[in-house]
Amino acid sequence: MTSAGIRLWRLLAHLAIYGLAFLTIFPFVWMLSTSLKPEDEVFSWPPQLVPWPPVWANYADAWNIAPFGRYFFNTAVVAVSVTVVSLVLNSLAAYAFARLRFKGRDLLFMLLLATMMIPFQVTMIPTFLILKQLGWLDSYLGLTVPGFAGAFGIFMLRQFMLSIPEDLLDAARMDGCTELRIYRQIVLPLCKPALATLAVFTFMGAWNDFILPLLVVKSGEMRTLTLAVAALSSGLYVMSFPLMMAAATFVIMPVIVAFICSQRFFTKSIVLGGLK
Amino acid sequence: MKTLQVPISARSRRRTNPAYDFVAGALVLIVLFQVVPCIWGIALSFTRYDGMNAAQWVGADNYRRLLADPTVSASLLVTLKYAFGAVPLSLAAGLTIALALDEKWFRGKALARTLFFAPNVISLVAVAFVWEWLLNPKFGVVNTVLQGIGITGPAWLNDPRTALWCIILMQVWHGLGFAVIVFLAGLQGIPETYYEAARLDGASRMQQVRHVTLPLLMPTVMFLSIMGFIGAFQVFQSVFMMTGGGPADRTRVIVYYLWQVAFDRVELGYASAIAVVIFVAVLALTLVQWRFYRDRVEVLT
Residues of chain B contacting residue A241, judged by C-beta atoms under 8 Å apart: 133, 136, 139
- For the CA atoms of B180, A254, A229, A29, the dihedral, rounded to the nearest 10 degrees, stands at -60
Q: Chain B neighbours among A 205-224 (CB < 8 Å)?
A: 207-211
- Is A243:A175 a contact under the CB 8 Å cutoff? no
How far is residue B51's CA from residue B74's CA, in Å, rounded to a whole number? 27
Rounded to the nearest angstrom, the minimum Cα separation between B301 and chain A is 23
Alpha-carbon distance of A201 to A222, in angstroms, equals 23
Say if residue B299's pLDDT is above 60. no
Is residue B57 helix, strand or coil?
A: strand
Q: How far apart are CA B224 and CA B180, in angstroms?
A: 10
Closest residue, chain B, to A264 (C-alpha): B114
- Predicted local confidence at residue B2, as pLDDT: 44
Percent of chain B with pLDDT over 90: 73
User: In whole angstroms, what is the distance from residue B135 CA to residue A244 CA?
Assistant: 15
> Do B255 and B237 contact (CB within 8 A), yes or no?
no
Q: Compute the distance between CA of residue B146 and CA of residue B153 in angstroms, rounded to an integer.
A: 6
Does A79 lie at the interface with B, CB-CB under 8 angstroms? no
pLDDT in tens, chain A (276 residues): 578 888 999 999 999 999 999 999 999 999 999 999 998 888 777 778 888 889 999 999 999 988 999 999 999 999 999 999 999 999 999 999 999 999 999 999 999 999 988 888 889 999 999 999 999 999 999 999 999 999 999 999 999 999 899 899 999 999 989 999 999 999 999 999 899 989 988 998 999 999 999 999 999 899 999 999 998 887 656 678 899 999 999 899 888 888 888 777 766 666 665 554
Task: Please give the mean pLDDT across all residues of chain B.
Answer: 90
For residue B168, is pLDDT > 60? yes
Note whether B133 and A29 are within 8 A (CB): no
Angle A106-A111-A112 (CA atoms, 0-180°, nearest 5)?
Answer: 95
Q: Where are the domains of chain A?
A: 3-55, 62-275
pLDDT-wise least confident of A35-44, B27-36, B94-103, B127-136: A35-44
Which ranges of A50-104 would DSSP assign to H, the alpha helix?
57-63, 68-99
Q: What are the structural domain ranges in chain B?
A: 3-44, 61-298
Contact: B255, A89; criterion CB under 8 Å: no
Asked if residue A216 lies in contact with residue A92, where contact means CB atoms within 8 angstroms, the answer is no
Contact A126, A205 (CB under 8 A): no
Region B166-182 average pLDDT: 94
CB–CB contact B30 A115 (8 Å) = yes
Question: Distance from CA of residue A184 to its chain's centroid?
Answer: 26
- The per-residue pLDDT for A276 is 44
Architecture of domain B61-298: Orthogonal Bundle (1.10)
Question: Min CA distance, B129 vs chain A (Å)?
Answer: 6
CA-to-CA dists, residue A137 to A12, A82, A134, A223, B237, angstroms: 55, 17, 8, 12, 21
DSSP class of residue A110 equals: H
Fold of A62-275: MetI-like fold (1.10.3720)
Asked if residues B98 and B184 have their Cβ atoms less than 8 Å apart, the reply is yes
What is the distance between the alpha carbons of residues B248 and B198, in angstroms, rounded to a whole number? 53
Q: Do B237 and A20 touch (CB under 8 A)?
A: no
CA atoms within 13 A on the CB side of A69: 2
Residue B254 in contact with residue B76, Cβ under 8 Å?
A: yes
Backbone angle region of B135, left / alpha / beta, with phi > 0 → left and psi within -120 to 50 → alpha: alpha
Mark yes or no for CB contact B20/A102 under 8 Å. yes
